[in-house]
Structure 1
């Protein structure tokens, strides 16, 4: 088995006596491993470095992306929830296939295991990892921004028993905010995704105690309101929303409707 600690210590140089394709295959498997020290340890950082530096050829990166897209259907939760992290690396490098977006769109609102962390499996973070990929895709010109906004609404309104407790609401709010910085968004596109939230949670028929998904949604939208007002941080600078006032006004309407239901 490859000693990834040694590879990292050597500046992530590819060992001269190993085939790169074999090493990438091993890394792909490592990022589905139930052992968090394997999945979220040195193999993760080596793969991220190789993708960022372009060590892995484009053809192999596209194959890796296809593997991650297929992994959204994996029976083990840690395999599913680490797939968006790898896809995020690839999209950041400039790689993208429409099939990856389709697979992500099917998985994200349908994932039922939203636990941030498990005592044995370590970090899972489906909602947060998915949010990161949603933001990355939502900033790509090939992806319609309203598609990612609708996907965020679908995730927020999907039934769950898990109340976000590992800053998932922050990650999702920031992801939505980043998509809302797109300069090509129309006003209708920037606020239209909130209609589904209002329809789902604005009705008087919602039961008490308050369902977990309502709590998650309220927390996310409240932070999003702050981001709409102050700007969404990208690196060191806060990027303003082009349709700041329209987004704030619609957020206020929906939040008021939910809390007054």
Structure 2
């Protein structure tokens, strides 16, 4: 049922995908938005605030990092964390963000920033539930599909700023993983999504903190205590075969990049588990060590 609903949501979003307006929104300028930022995004009228928020979603694909990150993302995150939208407004924002995930993204900014804002949407539902179980399941599926679809590994650029698709997708999955309303099957779906990017199929050495961000949803899933030690060990040891043929060890650039990513991911998990007082995290430490031992 959840998978079917997710497909319906994504298809609907796809139909809306081309409908993006100019940025800044009509009636606004960069200067007026910067002034609103100085005022800590104070927009007293709820209807006006919602209209502006929906239009700012169009700015998540803007090539200017100050507009994309410093205005659009910051405003949307601020309002969501301030509980500034009712359920109807949240559903409208969520659906437009789903559409942004399906839109053309020639510069590679829109999709990762839509995912980052969707992590804030997921957080609102975690803090004060408003989604139905079906909607929540559809979001788990949408986030998992997004993570698995990522093939643009650009992180930060001095001129263009952040893209950071893997990290932003991880943040979205983390907020979902933290939600106690998710069941074991949905948590397994998140683990499967994370696994697609621990060792990317296209060799890429992560250098912008992605392994640590990928580790976060896994750690919150572990805190739930729904998986056995044997299940964790099977998961942690499943990545080494993705490194490639043994003959490539230490003589192939792609193999070395994959090894780097896997070690960084498992090390991030180990450090968090080892220094934690949470017995559920301490319990997965042997599984992480088993995973580390599989890495040549």
Fold conserved (TM > 0.5)? yes
- Distance in 2, matches of 1:9 and 1:243, equals 41
Contact 2:236 2:291 in 1 (8 A): yes
- Distance in 2, matches of 1:214 and 1:72, equals 30
- Return the offset for 1:113: 0.9
Higher helix share: 2
Which sections of structure 1, spanning at least 5 residues, go unmatched? 232-238
Judged with a 3 Å threshold, the aligned counterparts in structure 2 of structure 1 residues 201 and 248 are, in CA distance, closer, same or farther, namely: farther
Please name the residue that 1:38 is paired with: 67
- Distance in 2, matches of 1:228 and 1:244, equals 5
Aligned with residue 104 of structure 1, among 133, 136, 143: 143
- Distance in 2, matches of 1:123 and 1:24, equals 21
Contact 2:237 2:290 in 1 (8 A): no
- Distance in 1, matches of 2:245 and 2:174, equals 29
Contact 2:232 2:287 in 1 (8 A): no
Please name the residue that 1:161 is paired with: 203
CA RMSD for the aligned pairs? 2.5
- Return the offset for 1:112: 1.0
- Distance in 1, matches of 2:244 and 2:280, equals 27
Please name the residue that 2:222 is paired with: 180
- Say if 2:158 is the partner of 1:127: no
| TM-score relative to the length of structure 1 | 0.84
Alignment size in residue pairs:
251
Aligned with residue 221 of structure 1, among 242, 266, 277: 266
Deviations 1:108-159, CA, capped at 9 Å, x for gaps: 1221111111344310111211121121111213333222222211211331
- Distance in 2, matches of 1:16 and 1:181, equals 40
- Distance in 2, matches of 1:20 and 1:56, equals 9
- Distance in 1, matches of 2:112 and 2:266, equals 23
- Say if 2:12 is the partner of 1:12: no
Deviations 1:5-62, CA, capped at 9 Å, x for gaps: 2223334221659733321221111122121110011232221121122222211211
- Distance in 1, matches of 2:197 and 2:99, equals 20
SS at match of 1:91: helix
Contact 1:109 1:158 in 2 (8 A): no
Aligned with residue 212 of structure 2, among 170, 173, 176: 170
- Return the offset for 1:86: 0.8
SS at match of 1:226: helix
Moved more, 94-103 or 74-83: 94-103
Please name the residue that 2:123 is paired with: 92
- Return the offset for 1:219: 0.9
